[in-house]
Amino acid sequence: MQQAVKVTDTIYWIGGNDRETDLFEGLWALPRGVAYNAYFINDEKRALIDTIKADKLSAYMERLVSIMPEGGAIDYLVVDHMEPDHSGSISILRKFYPNMKIVGNKKTIEMINAFYGITDGMIEVKEGDVLDLGRHKLAFATIPMVHWPESMVAYDSTEKVLFSTDAFGGFCALEGGIFDDELDMSLYEDETLRYFANIVGRYAAPTQKAIAKVRALDPKIICPAHGPIYRSNPRHIVDLYDKWSSHRTDPGLVVVYGSMYGNTKFMTDTIARAAAEAGVRDVVVHDASRSNLSYIVRDIWKYRGLVLGSCTYNTELYPPVAALCRALKNKMMKNRVLGLCGSYSWSKGALAELRVFAEQCCDWRLVEPTIEVKSSPTEVDLKLCRELGRNMAKAVLSKEDE
């Protein structure tokens, strides 16, 4: 039987790892899996913090019963977030523990009804309300749009433990360790940025508000709904989320191309080489057809510069590049510098669409020259590519664009 893991003497991790789902939300690659964290507080009143994706319930239940007295009851289920990877087992848990009260805010309660048809046995909490479990007192704070409108955190003031739901979460299953001091955090930081950029990033402004609330609490342990539990350095993950959600970037360049026969790729490779020669150490090149969008978006979130290159496809932008532009507009990223190039053979199309994209991203600065090539780049075109690479390097390394 799988065992609960102690977070403190009376708080336990009862989550599960998912290495079977290939695409989170049907979109985002999960080569290293994802963890769904949930917690149990063993006090005079027993409380669960969140449930788990329905097909992972057996792991959750095994861990829970490993520390429950036989036939013991659960008094409360706190629902911090209604996305089904956390709420998916509410109905079955309610059947298992019929007297368990479900604790959520007004929006949570509406959603529980809409998702699971549950209308009774609920306790509505508001900002600042406290649930008394005995020794532990759980205070609730809403963090709307991090990641859904009903998202809230629960803070145990007794042990200074914050249950932070999707805030401070990350991809990657918990590989043996579950705490920040037990894991290779360089891997988890990459996977946490990839999670932030793709799942929470659009809601950067609400994330900033959530961070202000969390800093005021100054928790000793942060227990997110995905990824490691932060107990050795909880401020570090708050600082990282703060950096990412305030659009602070590193001096690097992401180069993304959409190319069928290599001509556009030749242009973007030439730009990347010129940027490297001009001193940009971090240059990341993505083939838009092959890299999962989540990695491209992660790297664009990290670095200051982006070069987009696309061939023309049936009068339009090449479809994987169009999908990326659409995703980037949705993310509302700020404070980036952008270079563009495109190719065509008869009617043009790709570069014009990239220029429209640049105008729509009003917080991005367009770096010249933009380059449009007919079929294959000539020596003159390649010279312009090298010029763009050097100008991107200047913009990326300049302090003014920070």
Binding site for ligand FMN (CB under 6 A): 259-265, 311-315, 343-349, 375
Give 375's contacts (C-beta < 8 A, 6+ positions apart): 263, 343, 344, 345
Q: What is the smallest separation between the CB atom of 5 and ligand FMN, expressed in angstroms?
A: 51
Distance separating alpha carbons of residues 300 and 311, to the nearest angstrom = 20
Distance separating alpha carbons of residues 222 and 232, to the nearest angstrom = 10
* Beta strand spans in 241-294 (E): 250-258, 282-287
Nearer to ligand FMN, 96 or 261 (CB): 261
Which pair of tokens denotes residue 243? 């950096």
Give 227's contacts (C-beta < 8 A, 6+ positions apart): 35, 37, 168, 169, 170, 171, 172, 174, 188, 191, 192, 195
State the number of CA atoms in the 13 A half-sphere of 23 facing the CB. Answer: 7
Nearer to ligand FMN, 201 or 258 (CB): 258
Nearer to ligand FMN, 315 or 398 (CB): 315
Let me know: does 178 contact 239? Beta carbons within 8 Å: no
Q: What is the smallest separation between the CB atom of 310 and ligand FMN, expressed in angstroms?
A: 8
Q: What is the dihedral of CA 366, 372, 377, 383, to 10 degrees?
A: -40
Q: What is the smallest separation between the CB atom of 318 and ligand FMN, expressed in angstroms?
A: 8
Looking up tokens 């496809």 gives 313
CA distances from 293 to 112, 113, 210, 283 (A): 31, 34, 27, 17
Helix (H) or strand (E) holding 390: helix 379-397
Q: What is the smallest separation between the CB atom of 302 and ligand FMN, expressed in angstroms?
A: 26
Q: What is the smallest separation between the CB atom of 269 and ligand FMN, expressed in angstroms?
A: 11
Q: What is the smallest separation between the CB atom of 346 and ligand FMN, expressed in angstroms?
A: 4
Supply φ then ψ for residue 50, to 5 degrees: 70, 160
Q: What is the smallest separation between the CB atom of 312 and ligand FMN, expressed in angstroms?
A: 4
Q: What is the smallest separation between the CB atom of 267 and ligand FMN, expressed in angstroms?
A: 8
Residue 59: alpha-carbon gap to chain centroid: 24
Nearer to ligand FMN, 330 or 345 (CB): 345
